[in-house]
Amino acid sequence: MKQQIYLDYAATTPVYPEIIEIMAQSLSFTGTFGNPASSGHSFGKQAKQQVEQARQDVATLIGATSDEIIWTSGATESNNLALKGVTERYSHLGKHIITSQIEHKAILDSCAKLETLGFDVTYLKPEPNTGIITPESVQNAIRPDTILISLMMVNNEIGTITDIKSIGSLAKQNNIFFHVDAAQAAGKLPIDVHTLNIDLLSLSAHKVYGPKGIGALYVNHQKTFEIEPQIHGGGHEQGCRSGTLATHQIVGMGEAFKIARVNLETEQKRLKRLQHKLFDGLNRLTEIVLNGEPNQSVSNYLNLSFTEDHSFILINAIKTIAAVSSGSACNSGKAGASHVLLAIGRTEHTANNAIRFSFGKYTTEDDIDHLLHYLKYVKENTNVIVFN
């Protein structure tokens, strides 16, 4: 059987071959396998140099300085560290948090935990159909005891972009900590954390063609504050996150973020053409509804609900030929409609008939043509079977 077409880049991306090669060099005895914290010999010093170069490469992509980057195991840990680290340290300033109904589960579950500890969380409702979180809704939710605002830059299911710059200005004006989950934004959108007035920003390597199991948290050093560590045992990473650093994964993330700086704009244009091609082809073939805002979204995602009778036949056909998602990868093992689609006003039936297509580096026009050709064949033959 021919390998499926991979259209699930939002879940994870393959690691570039050149990155795999660089990572391997940090594992062997002839490479930089040493512990970066072992500063008393050359093995440790060489590993530390690699770690610090990667730190600089990650910082450069988001307009930060290298000392503002804290290594973590991924965006989920970064989100936990940001939310719990700020609220635990500064709960005496206020116990109100603002987030939205369509955040990643790492945010929603962390907020649920904080609620059990006495924090009050406002979950902003997005605009119907589009999933946009407006600055006005944030402004209206701010209270005297608001300590933290946490919103994602790009939604991981529908690809909508949040107006982070306007919300960052609101947070700064009101002296509120501002955290941004940028796991799905890095490498897709230009990011300058200081211009956007972001205090904390979560990043992941495996969404940007780097390895799984490594991420980072940006912590704004232009603003004097500290976060309470959630992992103890050695005081690594400026005391924010203890544990021996995984040099090979860090090097992989650094290289991935360095590569991401190249051709960002041209790649978005290429993927936009593929996105339009698939949407137009499916729209001619069957009845679909777009989930998201086409004019305020990244090109990498296309989330559609299939509304025609017997749509399950086409949905199953899509899943036969292509690797796609029915929601976020973090929920793939759980039954039920997407919380994001329900929040933007979709019925449970419409949400359950949704597919998230996500495109990336290795997606080609031939892939889209092949998928559409196969679905047309299925559709034509299904009509004969179902209606005759």
Residues 116-161 pLDDT 10s: 999 999 999 999 999 999 999 999 999 999 999 999 999 999 999 9
Secondary structure (DSSP) of 88-119: HHHGGG--EEEEETTS-HHHHHHHHHHHHTT-
- Tokens 């605009």 correspond to 127
- Average pLDDT in the chain: 93
DSSP structural state of residue 160 = B
**Torsion sign over Cα 338, 340, 346, 347:** positive
User: What pLDDT was estimated at residue 240?
Assistant: 82
Which pTM value belongs to this model?
0.93
pLDDT band at residue 2 using 50, 70 and 90 as cut-offs: low
Residue 5: phi, psi to the nearest 5? -75, 130
Put residue 131 in one of left, alpha, beta given phi > 0 → left and psi -120 to 50 → alpha: left
The Cα 351–Cα 84 span in angstroms is 31
- Residues contacting residue 192 through CB under 8 Å, at least 6 positions apart: 62, 63
Query: Could you give the domains of the chain?
Result: 5-12+263-387 (3.90.1150.10), 17-260 (3.40.640.10)
Check pLDDT > 90 for residue 9: yes
Q: Which of 257, 269, 304 is nearest to 285 (CA)?
A: 304
Listed in sequence order, the residues at least 6 apart from 118 whose beta carbon sits closer than 8 Å to its beta carbon are 91, 95
Q: Tokens for 160, please give them.
A: 């909508």
CB–CB of 324/371 below 8 Å? no
pLDDT confidence of residue 387: 35
How big is the CA angle at 330 (ends 372 and 300), to the nearest 5 degrees? 40
Q: Which helix (H) or strand (E) holds 150?
A: strand 146-152
pLDDT tens sequence across 85-121: 999 999 999 999 999 999 999 999 999 999 999 999 9
Answer yes or no: 111 catalytic.
Answer: no
For residue 74, pLDDT beyond 80: yes
Would you state the pLDDT for residue 384?
Answer: 44
Other C-beta atoms within 10 Å of 367: how many? 18
List b or e across 158-191, with b for residues whose CB sees 16 or more CB atoms inside 10 angstroms. Answer: bbbbbbbebbbebbeeeebbbbbbbbbbbbbeeb
The backbone torsions φ and ψ at residue 181, rounded to the nearest 5 degrees and listed phi first, read: -85, 110
- Across the range 52-57, mean pLDDT stands at 96
Asked if residue 278 lies in contact with residue 371, where contact means CB atoms within 8 angstroms, the answer is yes
For residues 217 and 201, give the distance between their C-alpha atoms in angstroms, rounded to a whole number: 6
The mean pLDDT value for 38-45 works out to 90
Is residue 381 very low, low, confident or very high in pLDDT (cuts 50, 70, 90)?
confident
Residue 338 or residue 229, greater confidence? 338
DSSP state of 325: B
Distance CA 220, CA 300 (A): 28
Interior angle at CA 176, CA 226 and CA 156, nearest 5: 90
162: tokens are: 């949040």
Quote the CA–CA distance of 73 and 203 in Å, as a whole number: 10
Cβ atoms 213, 246 nearer than 8 A: yes
**The pLDDT of residue 320:** 94
Instruction: Report the sign of the C-alpha dihedral through residues 179, 146, 232, 235, in that order.
Output: positive
pLDDT of the residue at 310? 87
Helix (H, G, I), strand (E, B) or coil at 217: strand
Identified catalytic residue from 330, 342, 372, 376? 330
* Residue 388 reports pLDDT greater than 70: no
Average pLDDT, stretch 55-81?
96
Please, where are the H alpha helices in the chain? 17-24, 42-62, 75-90, 105-116, 135-141, 164-173, 247-260, 264-285, 311-321, 339-343, 348-352, 365-387
